[in-house]
Amino acid sequence: MIFRWLYTLLLSLAAPLLLYGLYKKKEGKPAFGPRWKEHFGFTPALSTFENGIKPVWIHAVSVGESIAAIPVIKALKEQHPEQPVIVTTTTSTGAEQIAKLGDLVEHRYMPIDFSWCVKGFLRAIQPQAMLIMETELWPNTLATVHNAGIPVIVMNARLSARSANRYRRFQPLFNLLAKHINHLLCLHQDDAERFISLGIPANNVTVTGSIKFDIQIFDRVSEQAAELRQQLGNQRPVWVAASTHRGEDEQVLSAFSMVQQSFPESLLILVPRHPERFNQVEQLCIDSGFSCVRRTREGVVTADTQVYLADTMGEMLTFLGAADITFMGGSLIGDAVGGHNMLEPAALGKPTITGPSYYNFADITRQLTNAEAVWVCDGPESLAEMLIKLFEQAEQRQKMGAAALSVVRQNQGAVQKTLSALNEQLNN
C-alpha cells in the first residue's frame, strides 16, 4: 500500500506537466474538445447495452496499439456480434484510428491513473473484463479494476531483457502490478519466461505470438501507395526513413547525401515519429541543403524535390508502400528507443534496414535477419552503402522483400490464438 501511496503522490505532482503535454496543440494532432473531461472519469455511458451484456473493455494507448488491436476487435465481433466492445485510448491520434471501426465499437478516453478517475469510468461503463494492449500498466488503474472484481488480461505482452532487469531492481513495484493481472498473453516464449522469472505463475501466462504479424494490407492502402509513388516519380529510386527521432534525422540526411552521389535523382520520404517535430525537421532538411516538400502543404513534387516530409498521422502504410526500401528509425540513437516494429514493411514485401539498437523488437528482428530480409547498419556510412547496394540490385531488393513477406505469413494466426485464450479467460 505504501508504494501506491508514494506513487500517487508523485503522480499528483507530475500530473500538470503530463496533462500539458497531452493537451498541448500540435500540428497534425486532433483536438480533444469537450471530451477532455473523460480523462478525469466523467465518462458518458454506452449508447447501447445489447441484450444486457456487459461490455468488454480494450485499452490501446495510442496509434500503434490501436492499429494492433483492430484485428482482435474485428475477430471478437465476428465471433460474438452481440458483444458490446468499448475501446479507450489516451491520445486523440489513437482515437482517430479507432474511429475507423465505425459502429463496431464505442470509444472513450482512458481515465488518468487516479483511483477516483478510474472508479468514475467503471460506474459509467460497467465492463465485464479489461483487455490491455501491450504492457500499458498503471498501478492505480490495475488495483481499482481488480478490486472491482473485473479480470485484467494483457494482450501482446512483451518484456525485453533490459526491462526485466529493471523490474528486478524494483521487485516490490513489479509485484504490486503483477498481483492485479489475471493473465498475460505473450508475444514470444522469451517474454513468457521473463515474466515467469519475475514471479508471475506459469499458469497465468500463455504464448499467443504477435498480433502484429496478422497485419492486413487492404486494397485501398495499395492504391494510395501507388498514387503517391506516381506523384513522387515511378522511375526514380525512393526510400523511406520511418519513425525517426531527434538526433536520428541528422544521420539519415547525412546518409542521404552520400546516396545522392551515386543516385542524384533519388528521393527520401522522411517520417518523423512525433508530430511536434514536423516544423523542426523541415527546417533541418532546408538547413542541410535539401529541397523539401511537405505532404500537408500540397506542394508539387518535381524532379528537383529531394525530401518528401510525411507530416501526417495514420498514413505509414501508404508511405512504406510507395518506397523501394525502408529504414526503420529509433535504432540509430543508442539505447534510448530500442527500434520500432518492422512488420509493416515486411507485410508489404519491402526490404528493410535497421540500426544496431532494436532490443524492443529483438525476436522479430532476429527472424527477419535470419531470413536475410533485414540488414543491420551501424551508422550513416553503412546505411548509405546498403541503400546504394539495394538501389543498384533490383533482384536483391525483390529477394529480401519476398523473404520478409514469407516470415510474416509463417507467423500469422496470433489473432485466433489470442481470441481462443480470451474466450477461455472470459468464460472462467
Q: How far lies 154's CA from each of 52, 121, 182, 348, 400, in Å?
A: 25, 19, 8, 28, 33
Contact 37, 65 (CB under 8 A): no
Contact 230, 301 (CB under 8 A): no
- Picking from 117, 180, 174, the residue whose alpha carbon sits closest to that of residue 146 is 180
Which residues neighbour 345 within 8 Å (Cβ) at sequence distance 6 or greater? 242, 320, 326, 328, 351, 352, 404
List of long-range contacts for 274-277, beta carbons under 8 Å, 24+ apart: 274/245, 275/26, 275/27, 275/28, 275/29, 275/93, 275/311, 275/313, 276/24, 276/26, 276/27, 277/246
Secondary structure (3-state) at 89: strand
Could you list the active site residues? Answer: 65
Q: Alpha-carbon distance 366 to 373, whole Å?
A: 10
Which helix (H) or strand (E) segment holds residue 401: the answer is helix 394-410
Which three cell numbers mark 342? Answer: 518492422
Cα angle value 95/100/104 (rounded, 5°): 100
